[in-house]
Structure 1
Amino acid sequence: MQRPLILASTSRYRRELLTRLQRPFSVESPEVDETPLPGETSLALAQRLALAKAQAVAARFPSAVVIGSDQVADLHGEPLGKPGDHARATAQLQRMRGQTMVFQTAVAVVCAESGFVAHDVAPVRVVFRDLSDAAIENYLRAEQPYDCAGSAKSEGLGIALLESIDSDDPTALVGLPLIRTCRMLRAAGVDLL
């Protein structure tokens, strides 16, 4: 018997990525406070939130295999979240121009009934171009990436912001590292093939 598969996320980007696996799944909001803890690193924040999201939904659906994920943009040790609006997105991108950042994309897979818990992080090193204020404004007006960590929507026009991307899991920058997710799903007993 295949266990139900649930994505513990309200992110349309993660939902689109998980659809690639061609396995039916449902989506549940994890209702987790995403406020960073004092002194928490970007890596620790992403890991904690991915696991907390998966565990929160697994508690409500104990027989399901639940996937939780979180992404935090790290600028020289400072976590940058989703900007939420145009002014904050502008400020983020102005600080990021010409800089190298790491997007920490964490994923967790949990099944409460079987006791399965696994989590991992797929860091993505990104070098931003030295962008003019006009280029930043044009990008933001066209893409409106206010729900993307660090305002960088790489699967859209945001790719034009970048000089390079370095990652061993190409979907990690979009928000769900599918290679790691597949590995954990196999370990949880979810046969994708």
Structure 2
Amino acid sequence: MIPTSVQPRLILASGSAYRRELLSRLRLPFEVMAPDIDESPLAGEAPEATALRLACAKARAVAERAPGSIVIGSDQVATLNGEPIGKPGTHAAALAQLQKMRGQRVVFHTALCVWDGRATALTGPAQLENVQVFATFRDLPDAELDAYLRIEQPYDCAGSAKNEGLGIALLSKIDSTDPTALTGLPLIALTGMLRKAGIQFFTN
């Protein structure tokens, strides 16, 4: 862990417990601030463009409240045949999502923004990346899908499946260069961005 005396202030611009847990794996000191932005997609906006725009908007909104900090913003949009799949919110909506996705390959666009608010930043204020995950769902009967939802209740997850939990049993295949992207924060991409911003790892 980098001593706090030399570590730039690092902030996660998110209210997500999943992203907080993922970032904590890097063993870097960080704070959490929930961004207050409108997350509605724009008319005619491609899903991946929505994810990138919102990741940047989240990071920038928090950076304006914490000048001189390095801020991490992320957003995820799931798509099936090019159509966005949001957070279901209810059991009925989640079941409908899983029924639609069974036997199908769903693309998860996880966008990442690292906003460097320091005046001396050499990388420019924002680094952006969209990490795609291709998740193939098993063709399971309604009874199993319903039982899964009642056990895990993943109503706050796009695609209604928590891959870090029991939801992994719904999937037959995951293809990605960054497996943590499916959970909501691509750590392989993030560590590369943080290194460009001058963050060091494995320092006593």
Fold-level match, TM-score > 0.5?
yes
C-alpha contact 2:70 2:118 (8 A) present in aligned 1? no
- Equivalent pairs counted in the alignment come to 193
1:40 counterpart residue number: 45
After TM superposition, give the deviation of residue 192 of structure 1 in Å. Answer: 2.3
Aligned pairs for 1:152-167 within 5 A = 152-167=161-176
1:138-160 deviation digits (Å, cap 9, x = unpaired): 11001110111111110001001
Candidates 54, 77, 101, aligned match of 1:49: 54
1:15-164 to 2 correspondences below 5 Å: 15-114=20-119, 115-164=124-173
Distance in 1 of aligned mates of 2:36 and 2:89: 18
Per-residue deviation at 1:96? 0.6
Q: 2:3 maps to which residue?
A: none
**How far apart are 1:61 and its partner, in Å?**
0.5
Distance 1:131 1:188 in 2: 45
Distance 1:136 1:109 in 2: 37
Instruction: Please report the TM-score for the alignment, with normalisation by the length of structure 1.
Output: 0.97
Deviates more, 1:115-124 or 1:65-74: 115-124
Asked which structure has the greater CA Rg, the reply is 2
- Once the two structures are TM-superposed, the CA of residue 187 in structure 1 deviates from its matched residue by 0.8
Deviations 1:11-67 (A, max 9, x none): 100000000000110100011111111111111111111111011100110111000
Q: Which runs of 5+ in 2 are unaligned?
A: 1-5
RMSD: 1.0
Give the CA deviation at 1:87.
Answer: 1.4
Identical aligned pairs, as a percentage?
A: 61
Residue 159 of structure 2: SS of its match in structure 1? helix
- Structure 1 residue ranges, 4+ long, deviating more than 4 angstroms after superposition: none
Q: Which runs of no fewer than 5 residues in structure 1 stay unpaired? A: none
Contact conserved, 2:78 with 2:106, CA < 8 A, in 1?
yes
| SS of structure 2 residue aligned to 1:150 | coil
Distance 1:72 1:192 in 2: 30
Q: Distance in 1 between matches of 2:128 and 2:67?
A: 18
Q: TM-score, normalised by structure 2?
A: 0.92
